[in-house]
Amino acid sequence: MVFRLRLITAIFVARAVMWLVRLLGRGKGSSLPGMVALKICPGILAHLARQACRGVVMVTGTNGKTTTNNMVARIAGEAGYRVVVNAEGANMITGITTAFLRKASLWGRVDCDYALLEVDEATFPRVTRQVRPDLVVVTNFFRDQLDRYGELDTTVSLIRETLEKLPGTGLVLNADDPLVASLAAAAGGEVLYYGLGEHRRVTSSSSAAREGRFCPRCGQELAYAYYQYSQLGNYRCPGCGFSRPPAGVEGTEVLPEERRTTCRLRSPAGDYELVIPVPGLYNLYNGLAAFTAGLALGVEPRVITRALAGYTPATGRMERFRYREKPVLLNLVKNPTGFNEGLGTLLSLTGPVDVLIAINDNDADGRDISWLWDVDFEVLEEEHRHVNLLVCTGQRGAEMAVRLKYAGVPLEKIVVEEMSRAVERVLNGPGKTACFLATYTALWPVERILSGYARRENRVESLPSVS
């Protein structure tokens, strides 16, 4: 009786907070309602999550969590399932609780088939103590915010130890990342692998920071037949024999384009063409992960490929705008690997390109911005004719400008501006295309300013049966 009273009170107050946040124009309030509800009723998340009648899917890893999780949500919606999903990327326990609260009735009933949850790596152990996943999708592991996560091996160990406590939980793992593939040893249920085969754009070496280049079993340096990017590729340990496992779902014949990426896909259910309507090799990996998760949920492959072909990105995940006749791309950057891939996409755009880089150092971004020195900005020196203007903004815009200077970018192309003026300057620059790259807390104000000038081309649509 006491729990029921706490539950109803928590839901009522959380709904009031949601309404108030919207009234004040502060967005959807993706974390605050959950925070308030957990204070009033600490057991509310576990209670609500148990009502997902077909099960719980969690997506974790360093990069691609939001995109992969939202792709899985679109697949599930296309298949006719009702889902709970934290679509905005609020992946801490408070944001996950809010996702359930949006779907819950005032009496605490949740009518859904699946809960599809993006979960922060550091929060993963805490969330799984309250919500038991039936399937866990792991995207990749890269160096990310050392002041929050610590060294990379700490994060991997944390996930591995948690998985060992989840007997019966199935895993969807990236075969091309040795750190992710090594988690199979901790699996209590079925393991499914996805990855990319050899194609024309693989390389024989990688200059990117690769903290994962050592064998996770014996510590010896891995030998690679080829690299996709960073430590992802076809690897083998000359010491203990640990190697890339065969991928049940594998992409081949990769065709990257400015607005989409396609590949041939081989799977246990047959061969298909996979079309991901956003650019970048890393988004193709997200699509492969989502396809594999869809198969694990029993969805027909043609339903999965149709859903993925119609996917629309969340805010700042290769989101497209148009200012007058000028295409504009907005993308989140948060660590060296993700930034390197963002630069690769920038250089693939129709040039010359006007560029905005917004760097903040709030808690959600990571206070330590030394990671910027691990990003390969030197490619902008080599390809500087492709870039017309680089406008740096945000709390650490000046430091970003210094990094570009040391990368060898011509000084006349580097500008530091206040954020509103920076957005306006880049939009009105003489380049044919504009590219906006922003860290997490800089992304939202940049998006808000940008939306006042430009129209979205790939607006995020409501997912079927998604709250």
Q: Name, in order, each residue with C-beta under 8 angstroms of 404's C-beta and a sequence gap of 6 or more.
A: 377, 380, 390, 392, 414
Burial class (CB in 10 A: 0-12, 13-18, 19+), 26: exposed
* Beta-carbon count within 10 A of 57 CB: 27
Start-end of H helices in 104-187 = 124-130, 146-149, 152-163, 178-181
* Beta-carbon count within 10 A of 151 CB: 11
d(CA 140, CA 208): 15
The residue among 37, 49, 31 whose CA lies nearest residue 11 is 37
**Structural element, H or E, at residue 323:** strand 319-323
d(CA 339, CA 334): 7
Tokens found for residue 429: 């620059």
What are the beta bridge partners of residue 323? 326
Count the alpha carbons within 13 Å of 63 in the hemisphere toward its beta carbon: 30
The answer to whether 316 and 184 are in contact (CB under 8 A) is no
Tokens found for residue 266: 């081989």
**Structural element, H or E, at residue 215:** none
Q: Name, in order, each residue with C-beta under 8 angstroms of 236's C-beta and a sequence gap of 6 or more.
A: 222, 223, 224, 225, 242, 243, 244
Tokens found for residue 41: 């009723």
Tokens found for residue 357: 């880089």
Q: Which residue has the tokens 């040795």?
A: 178
* 368 catalytic residue (yes or no): yes
Task: Give me the phi and psi of 278, to 5 degrees please.
Answer: -140, 150
Tokens found for residue 361: 């150092």
* Beta-carbon count within 10 A of 39 CB: 12
The answer to whether 299 and 57 are in contact (CB under 8 A) is no
d(CA 299, CA 309): 15
Tokens found for residue 298: 């029993």
Which residue in 111, 271, 368, 376 is the catalytic one? 368
Enzyme catalytic residues: 368
